Amino acid sequence: MTLGLFDDLPAAAQAPEWLEPGAVVLRGFASDLAAELLAAVGGVAAAAPFRHLVTPGGKRMSVAMTNCGPLGWISDRSGYRYGPVDPDTGARWPAMPALFRQLARDAAEAAGYPGFAPDACLVNRYEPGTQLSLHQDRDEGNYAHPIVSVSLGIPAVFLWGGAERADKARRVGLWHGDVVVWGGPARLRFHGVLPLAQAEHAATGARRINLTFRKAG
């Protein structure tokens, strides 16, 4: 390991990396909470197991997903939407852990969006080789609210595109504990995740867990 100027500062004290106005990477913002977050993901997945959703076009998504909170994001042959019930279990999505809510609120505030109160947390599970193709997050009711995205486990290359699908996307490495927040003028940017490289992380094994918080209702 290398010793750097910032190693003895709290992770949240690292300088924010602005992707453009409205969108920022907060390096290591969730590092200190990672173990607790992952334990809570285990609890969520025990009640609402990870599954591979099918897109409206009939493709099986390579990323496995589940949700917690009052609303969950789902996809099937009839489209994308948010709903209160897990279609696989017929039960409501598990409650959003207080730790999740507080982290999302704190990260949003650090990015200039105070008072963020998410009602949906999509949990994405990636394995080496899995990817998320370029998309916009536009199934939420109100684009005035930002999105907060937490990366845990093995690293990924995030694609940060533009307002149009064909716009050139830049590549942004995301590591364990990093948090991305976007909203305002950047809220509808195209984005995605490149196929993950083979890797192992002490906290997750050969997996990446992403928590994406939204105000959907």
Is 178 among the residues that bind ligand MD6 (CB under 6 A)? no
- Closest to ligand MD6 by CB, 30 vs 91, is 30
The set of residues, in sequence order, having a beta carbon less than 8 Å from that of 111 and lying 6+ positions away, is 16, 24, 26, 146, 181, 182, 183
Block residue for tokens 């995301």: 174
**Sign of the Cα pseudo-torsion (167, 197, 15, 26, in order):** positive
Q: Using CB under 5 A as the criterion, what x/- string covers residues 133-172 for binding Fe ion?
A: ----x-----------------------------------
Beta-carbon neighbour count of residue 5 at 10 Å? 6
Cβ partners under 8 Å of residue 27, min gap 6: 11, 14, 15, 17, 175, 177, 178
- Looking at beta carbons only, is 19 or 48 nearer to ligand MD6? 19
189 binds, among Fe ion, ligand MD6, none (CB under 5 to 8 A by kind): none
Q: Which of 25, 65, 147, 179 binds ligand MD6 (CB under 6 A)?
A: 147
Q: How far is the CB of 90 from ligand MD6 (least distance, A)?
A: 27
Closer of 11 and 113 to Fe ion (Cβ) = 113
SS3 of 161-184: CCCCCCCCCEEEEECCCCEEEECH
Task: Return the number of the residue (62 or 92) whose C-beta is nearest ligand MD6.
Answer: 62
Give min distance, CB of 124 to Fe ion, in A. Answer: 9
CB of 118: closest distance to Fe ion in angstroms?
A: 14
- Burial of 177-198, coded b for 16+ CB within 10 Å and e otherwise, reads bbbbbbbeebbebbbebeebee
Between 86 and 178, CB nearer to ligand MD6: 178
Q: How many Å apart are CA 184 and CA 47, to the nearest integer?
A: 34
Report the distance separating Cα 173 and Cα 151, nearest Å: 10
User: Which does residue 132 bind out of ligand MD6, Fe ion, none, counting CB within 5 to 8 angstroms by kind?
Assistant: ligand MD6
67 binds ligand MD6 (CB under 6 A): no
Residues that bind Fe ion (CB under 5 A): 137
Residues that bind ligand MD6 (CB under 6 A): 124, 132, 137, 147, 149, 158, 180, 182, 191, 193, 210, 212
